[in-house]
């Protein structure tokens, strides 16, 4: 098992792509939920631990984990495990979201989500700082 194996990779066969099943209004509601956009911005460039995300957005620990779980269920976030310099394992999170477009027409609202093709969790060096 790779140090930075994605949780999504581990459960891919068990769980369908929820983004395709989730309704457009549900996805827009998730993106409009407090702290969701901030969390996505924090994990867009590189994987971060939950503690780094909590410190970066100022939300409570339960709120951050709830948002991360919802985003992961929607296929917009991947999580993986990295080995910290202190020898412990830390769960890290990274956004798979590349872009979102919303089309409003007479037929209703349509949301198009573009995700990155490859995971950035497996390309990290497998080490995170202690303290998480």
Distance, CA of 96 to CA of 114 (rounded, Å): 9
Distance, CA of 34 to CA of 130 (rounded, Å): 28
| Under-50 pLDDT residues of the chain | 1-20, 122-132
Domain 7-119: top CATH class? mainly alpha
pTM for this model (two decimals) = 0.71
pLDDT, residue 123, reads 40
pLDDT, residue 10, reads 44
Termini Cα distance of the chain: 22
Q: Both tokens of residue 19?
A: 């983004």
Instruction: Read off the pLDDT of residues 5-21 as tens digits, 9 standing for 90 and up.
Output: 444 444 443 344 444 45
What H or E segment, with its residue span, contains residue 32?
helix 24-32
The CA distances from residue 37 to 16, 95, 130, in Å, are 24, 11, 26
Phi and psi torsions of 94, nearest 5°: -145, 145
Distance, CA of 22 to CA of 103 (rounded, Å): 17
Give CB contacts under 8 A, 24+ apart, made by 59-63: 59/34, 59/35, 63/34, 63/35
């Amino acid at each position: 098992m790779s140090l930075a194996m994605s949780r999504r990779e581990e459960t891919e066969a068990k769980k369908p792509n929820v983004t395709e099943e989730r309704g457009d209004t549900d996805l827009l509601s998730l993106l409009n939920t407090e702290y969701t956009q901030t969390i996505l911005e924090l994990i867009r460039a590189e994987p971060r631990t939950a503690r780094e995300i909590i410190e970066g957005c100022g939300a409570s620990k339960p709120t951050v984990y709830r948002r991360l779980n919802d985003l992961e269920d929607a296929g917009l976030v991947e999580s993986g495990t990295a080995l910290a310099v202190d020898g412990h394992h830390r769960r890290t999170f990274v956004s798979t979201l590349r872009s979102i477009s919303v089309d409003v027409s007479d037929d209703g609202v349509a949301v198009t989500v573009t995700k990155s093709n490859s995971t950035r969790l497996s390309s990290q060096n497998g080490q995170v700082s202690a303290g998480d």
